[in-house]
Amino acid sequence: GLVTTVAIDGPAGSGKSSVARRAAERLGFHLLDTGAAYRSLAWLVLERGLDPSVEADVLGVLDDFDYAVDVSGPVQRFSVGGVDVSDAIRTERISGAVSGVARVPAVREAVNVRFRALIAEADPGIVVEGRDITTVVAPDADVRILLTADEDVRIRRRIGDVGDDAGVAERLSARDRSDNQVVDFMTPAPGVTLVDSTHLDFDETVQAVVELVRTQE
Ligand code: C5P
């Protein structure tokens, strides 16, 4: 049948953001980076001078979380209350704060409503990437993929992105451990295809994703 929704989950540093972006380009699909929504909320909590690890602080700003995303282009822009936060949400400060925000159930419910609306509107299709897309956000997606790589490879790729920083490995592992307590993105759920990129380069990984979509069509 016709594929309209491609769900991709995976841990931090699996390369899923860049793989999802290139796969979406090749398929002519929209792209939805769900982690950016959690990052944007973490940004708002910090912007208000509140503590992202305190649930009451997070819930206190949730009603004001006026989040907008443009899913139509290859370079997505995110804004909160009209402020473009696309660059601000990529800092290590936000990476360190985001897991606290993401573990609040009311937050997950609120962003999932938005994600499902964006998925329903996407024409001709959308690639959605995150941690719980194959299991919670879009369990009925046409193609569901868990993208992984061995931890040492993920750490090396991440160091390649941000420079040789001794704290990177530790922070990456800590964030995955914390996130994985909320949703399991290390083992594929029934019906989810595991794509292990440990021995694949970027283009090969994109190709593996695109082929899974083509064989489904
Ligand atoms: O993918 P990215 O690293 O930008 O995600 C940032 C954070 O958002 C993750 O560390 C996780 O805490 C949260 N997240 C989530 N569920 C998703 C996507 C991201 O909990 N579907």
Substitution site in 19, 32, 93, 98 for ligand 1 pocket (most atoms within 8 Å of beta carbon): 98
Strands 78-80 and 67-69: antiparallel
**C-alpha span between 192 and 145 (Å, rounded):** 5
Could you count the other beta carbons within 10 Å of the beta carbon of residue 154?
Answer: 23
Could you count the other beta carbons within 10 Å of the beta carbon of residue 147?
Answer: 23
Q: Percent of the chain, pLDDT > 90?
A: 79
Q: What are the start-end ranges of the E strands in 131-184? A: 143-148
Residue of the CA atom closest to atom 6 of ligand 1:
35
Paired tokens of 80: 């909160």
Nearest in space to 161 (alpha carbons), one of 43, 10, 12, 4? 12
Tens of pLDDT, residue by residue over 138-176, are: 999 999 999 999 988 888 887 777 666 668 778 888 899
Min mean pLDDT across 78-87, 165-174, 178-187 is at 165-174
**Residue 170: predicted pLDDT:** 84
Is the pLDDT reported for residue 14 higher than 90? no
In degrees, rounded to 5, the angle at the alpha carbon of residue 142 between the alpha carbons of residues 184 and 11 is: 25
Residues 77-95, mean pLDDT to the nearest whole number: 95
Residue of the CA atom closest to atom 12 of ligand 1:
99
Predicted complex ipTM: 0.99
Strands 78-80 and 83-84: antiparallel
Tens of pLDDT, residue by residue over 37-80, are: 999 999 999 999 999 999 999 999 999 999 999 877 667 889 99
